[in-house]
Structure 1
Amino acid sequence: MKRASLLLALAGVSLAAPILRLEGEVEGPLVLTTPGLEVEAEGAVLRGRKGHTLSLLAPGIRVRGLKVVGAGGGDDFFEPDAAVYLRGCEGCLLEGLEVEGAPAAVRLEDSPRAKVQGLRARGLGASPGVLVYRSPGAQVVESHLAGFMDGIYAEYSPGLVLRGNRLTGHGRYGFHVMFSWHVRVEGNESWGNGVGNAVMHGAENRVRGNRLHGHRSPLAYGLLLQDERGSQVEANRFQENTLGLVLLDAAQVGVRGNRFQENGTALRITREKGGNSARVEGNLFLGNLYDLLVDDPEAKAQVVGNAYDRASGLPVPHLPSSSFALLLARQPELSLLALSPGVLLWEGAEAQVPGLRLLSLADPQALALPPSRRAHAPLLLLGLLGGVLWWRFRT
């Protein structure tokens, strides 16, 4: 700590181990390597212009109430300069951190059970707000992130917890989780991001109680679940997205108790390499242009006990998809006819008398809801056209 102590003394900061008190304006970068150090920084401002502004390189360090302004200019997505960089920082805590003018707010690597709570940060558009890498049991909670490439990006972090965050206006994803398992994404609100949100290449993850809305660009979705096994999507609200929920090569997935409202397509099941299997149960479908679109001919989808504003209430299985919806997957230019009287009549008749090809998608326990007014239909129709074009030509 000799070098660090000298830096702190020059900055006018007092050090009384294991407590470090930061006051007023402090020039970075600062590197802290004392295990268990408590950093009291309420009202202090740490400024940086090169590299990481604050580096925490020992277990158990706790930083509270700090404002960090600036960092180096490195904005590589996977190795950005960060306001706060954690490495080997097992069990560390960042609480009440505020960040301005840094490529990344927090870069967290090889730091099991580290926790970021109450972060407030606005990004520069090229890097993640919080980057989590190889940090089992890490947590990002109750934070508000805006204007990054991804709000939260995580890789190889089993047991990760993302809870109670607000993620808005990011260039790509609100949250983006890769190569992880037993992850919990709970109670977050994500809206108005360029693409949406994604959980990919993992297993036994849970996405529960989130509000995912306002993702309307031609390639946008509330949530993409790709190459996942045994994961659960429960009690979320998908609203005003081009595509609400997309299952892509997702096996043994549960989709339960969600509310799909005013999306272009509420639930899309599609494939790239593998197959899909899902149980879709107890969801609400309200005001969507299409409730279900399946363009994986080998998908094993159990659709049971959902409520629809298009169900007739008659004692017959309700078909939440249609042969026209399947045709759209192959000829997306036909989206412009989706609200035409002829197609609506076709789909209405088919819903009452499902064809043999579609009978496996019929819901034998469907509940009928009052018809919804599709107030955003023109906008969602354009979004649907863009969405199916993108899915068709994405490779």
Structure 2
Amino acid sequence: MGLFLWLLAAPLLHLSGEVEGPLVLTTPGLRVEGEGAVLRGKEGHTLSLLAPGIQVRGLKVVGAGPEEDFFEPDAAIYLRGCEGCVLEGVAVEGAPTAVRVEDSPGALIRGLRAEGLEASPGVLVYGSPSVRVEESHLARYMDAIYVEYSPGMRIRGNLLEANTRYGFHVMFSWEVRVEENLSRNNAVGNAVMHGARNLVAGNRLLGHGSPVGYGLLVQDERETGVAANLFQENTLGLVLMDAEGVRVLENRFRRNGTALRITRERGGNSARVEGNAFLGNLYDLLVDDPEAKAQVVGNAYDRASGLPVPHLPTSSFALLLARQPELSLLALSPGVLLWEAAEAQVPGLRLLSLADPRPKLLPEERTSGVLPLFLGLLGGLLWWRWRA
């Protein structure tokens, strides 16, 4: 049944030592100080916050019930009807989900430290506008941060690593800002899907090198921005799928298999690709959508000629590769490399629309690790073809 606290006359609750849960708080505006305290639970949600304005600081929560259902997991901390609530400096261990947020607009999660059980989200936010998740470290969940139907959310300054699917995963939301996070070594990558007017900016998206790994998937999005991010050592850096009006601005693509892939499943794609830097990638641009409308202008490349002539960041071989992934085995052959170098300077009519009219030259970067990314890209293309 849990411990119900109706502390209408006491705005402050001190916890100390070991406390057995579940603990349910229903007092609006209650402040909970738990520095040094450990709350333990074995069934359901270990700590439930069910009133507006509750603040919890410095508490460690260990364990929760066994339910790992992705959308309705047992959580160390559960917020419902908790508008403006604050979790700060909280640690979580041994629970399917660290924090589950429902119908709690304006909640703040800051400084959360949590390690999961690999089957459920770390922070699950549903139907809660303007929630903020900041300066937290989340590892070994399925998705570190999973968001649905939560417009205006802010995900900022977090470390998201070693999760079994995504670092951040935003669904059916709009005007969400994902900024200045480090997301690395997750099994698949990161995704923003089925929304509009979202912004992914200033993040470092690193080391998603599995056959299906990508730094960021932007799928079925409208008027979303991808700006000033670092995409490094991913099988696919940035994937645009059925994305209209996307702005890809001032990103740095470094040592990826393919830096930018534009593909389609059902709808179309339109994007402006401007002011980005492409350095040490196996392929800078791969387009698997013959009707894509991509404006590619004013980017910097380590393969540009340095002359005032258009540069083609893709090739006819890359287009063929998108449809026949098994040809990846020839991608590093001398003949293909020579053909692509020539075609980059004299694009064919079919590819002319993808040529950058104002390219800038970057110094070529000699790097190791191209072969593993090449093999990852081959596996990813084969998987993509099988999926289709």
Please give the TM-score of this superposition, normalised by the length of structure 2. 0.98
Distance 1:62 1:347 in 2: 59
1:90 and 2:110 are equivalent in the alignment: no
Distance 1:64 1:115 in 2: 12
Give the aligned partner of residue 196 of structure 2. 203
1:105 and 2:82 are equivalent in the alignment: no
Alignment of 1:146-157 (within 5 A): 146-157=139-150
Secondary structure of the residue aligned to 1:358 is helix
Q: Which moved more, 1:61-70 or 1:381-390?
A: 381-390
Distance 1:16 1:101 in 2: 34
Contact 1:42 1:65 in 2 (8 A): yes
Give the aligned partner of residue 388 of structure 1. 381
Cα 1:171–1:3 shift into 2, 3 Å? closer
1:4 and 2:4 are equivalent in the alignment: yes
Cα 1:269–1:313 shift into 2, 3 Å? same
Secondary structure of the residue aligned to 1:359 is helix
Alignment of 1:240-319 (within 5 A): 240-319=233-312
Cα 1:224–1:3 shift into 2, 3 Å? closer
Give the aligned partner of residue 77 of structure 1. 70
Please give the TM-score of this superposition, normalised by the length of structure 1. 0.96
Report how far residue 219 of structure 1 moved: 0.6
Give the aligned partner of residue 136 of structure 2. 143
Instruction: Give per-residue Cα distances to partners, 1:36-79, cap 9 Å, x unaligned.
Output: 00001111100001100000000000000000011010111100
Contact 2:61 2:91 in 1 (8 A): yes
Contact 1:336 1:381 in 2 (8 A): no
Give the aligned partner of residue 333 of structure 1. 326
Cα 1:383–1:3 shift into 2, 3 Å? closer
Report how far residue 16 of structure 1 moved: 6.7
Instruction: Give per-residue Cα distances to partners, 1:228-263, cap 9 Å, x unaligned.
Output: 000000000000000000000000000000000000
Tell me the percent identity. Answer: 76
Give the aligned partner of residue 180 of structure 1. 173
Distance 2:111 2:30 in 1: 20
Report how far residue 143 of structure 1 moved: 0.2
Distance 1:293 1:116 in 2: 38
1:219 and 2:218 are equivalent in the alignment: no
Structure 2 alignment gaps of length 5 or more: none
Give the aligned partner of residue 341 of structure 2. 348
What code does the residue aligned with 2:4 have?
A: A
Report how far residue 4 of structure 1 moved: 2.1
Alignment of 1:5-24 (within 5 A): 5=5, 17-24=10-17
Report how far residue 371 of structure 1 moved: 1.5
Instruction: Give per-residue Cα distances to partners, 1:106-128, cap 9 Å, x unaligned.
Output: 00001000011000000001000
Structure 1 alignment gaps of length 5 or more: 9-14
Instruction: Give per-residue Cα distances to partners, 1:173-201, cap 9 Å, x unaligned.
Output: 00000000000000000000010000000
Report how far residue 381 of structure 1 moved: 0.8
Give the aligned partner of residue 164 of structure 1. 157
What code does the residue aligned with 2:284 have?
A: D
Contact 1:278 1:300 in 2 (8 A): yes
Q: Which moved more, 1:123-132 or 1:373-382?
A: 373-382
1:41 and 2:34 are equivalent in the alignment: yes
Report how far residue 3 of structure 1 moved: 6.2
Distance 2:290 2:208 in 1: 27
Secondary structure of the residue aligned to 2:350 is coil
Report how far residue 5 of structure 1 moved: 4.0
CA RMSD of aligned residues (A): 1.3
Contact 2:275 2:300 in 1 (8 A): yes
Secondary structure of the residue aligned to 1:393 is helix
What code does the residue aligned with 1:253 have?
A: V
Instruction: Give per-residue Cα distances to partners, 1:133-172, cap 9 Å, x unaligned.
Output: 0000001100000000100000000001000000000000
Which of 100, 108, 112 is the aligned partner of 1:115?
108
Contact 2:5 2:24 in 1 (8 A): no
Runs of 4+ more than 4 Å apart: none
Give the aligned partner of residue 66 of structure 1. 59
Secondary structure of the residue aligned to 2:67 is coil
Contact 1:161 1:183 in 2 (8 A): yes
What code does the residue aligned with 1:90 have?
A: E
Cα 1:116–1:356 shift into 2, 3 Å? same
Secondary structure of the residue aligned to 2:289 is coil
Q: Count residues in correspondence.
A: 387
Distance 1:370 1:29 in 2: 59
Distance 1:114 1:172 in 2: 25
Instruction: Give per-residue Cα distances to partners, 1:290-328, cap 9 Å, x unaligned.
Output: 000111011000000000000011221000000000000
What code does the residue aligned with 2:277 have?
A: L
What code does the residue aligned with 1:132 have?
A: V
What code does the residue aligned with 2:214 have?
A: Y
What code does the residue aligned with 2:282 have?
A: L
Contact 2:3 2:22 in 1 (8 A): no
